Amino acid sequence: MQTIVTHAGSFDPDDVLAVAVVTMFLGEEKCEIIRSRDQVVIDQADWVVDVGGIYKKERKRFDHHQDDVPERANHVPYSSFGLVWEELGEELCGSAAVAKRIEEKLVYPIDAADNSMQVCCDCGNGIKAYELYDVINTYKPAWGRDEDFYNGFMRAVSFARKMIKRQIVTERGELAMLEYAKGVIDASENKEVVAFEKPVIRHVLAELPDIKGFVSPVFDPTSSDWMAVTVPVNSRSFTNRMSFPEEWRGKSLEELHEVTGLSGVTFCHKELYFVVASSKEAALQAIAAAK
């Protein structure tokens, strides 16, 4: 049984996710989580995360609050999560590529925010991002209820383990999808509009520079429908590299048939990036109309 010590009291995503990663690495049944700021307890621990004032990976000490923590090349400071992920991420994922994708997608924002770097911006209309910080905050004691930080922290760590495990599965799938898509695109005469025989995801294909639109089967294995889809300029953008005609916006069935002249299309999204069709041929006709 190995002990993992992190600080007592309140908690944030960095210490929650760091402890979650260590428990995943060791095995939940092989470790004990202790929350304490007692230096004697800290010194006796097998692993120390986000407390203790030491970063020595060879000693399994992963605090980031002192001056000797290394700096990333991209100037995103480390939190305890980033330090632990750098040490254990690749082995946990079984792949350097998967670990890197998770670092860029999940670790960087947590590390940055924990070091007072603004990640999400107010868009100016009163809407604020709902972040992982907000999710983790729901595990803290609610005012007026008989709750405590220790049990809240343990519940948050359990949630984080499930999230990270699923993120690993997701990134493995996206990398496999990209390899498949690259192979199809390489074999296609038209690199901008491509037909796939397997379902693909538009925001993942945004990582590829040339493709603007595609057709593929829909993701529902019980359906024989196809989809014609445009690709965003990047994976987080709502701006697309091409769009379907304006007069198709939000229309479906007979109304859509009338404006398109295509008998096999059944629905067009109001944001003009997605069309459902009853056949591959109809989907190809739809994507040919996108500009």
DSSP secondary structure letters along 97-148: HHHHHHIIIIIHHHHHHHTT---S---SSS-----HHHHHHTTSPPTTSS--
Residue-wise pLDDT for 116-175, tens only, equals 888 877 777 888 888 999 999 999 999 999 999 999 999 999 999 999 999 999 999 999
pTM: 0.92
Are the beta carbons of 111 and 77 closer than 8 angstroms?
yes
Residues with Cβ within 8 Å of 140's Cβ and at least 6 positions away in sequence, in order, are 10, 11, 149, 152
Among residues 40, 37, 61, which one has the least CA distance to residue 49? 61
The whole-number pLDDT of residue 126 equals 81
The whole-number pLDDT of residue 125 equals 81
CA 88/CA 97 separation, integer angstroms: 14
Q: Which residues of the chain have pLDDT under 70?
A: none
Helix or strand or coil: residue 260?
A: helix
CA 273/CA 278 separation, integer angstroms: 17
The whole-number pLDDT of residue 151 equals 96
Q: Which residues pair with 95 in a beta bridge?
A: none
Question: Which tokens belong to 98?
Answer: 């998967």
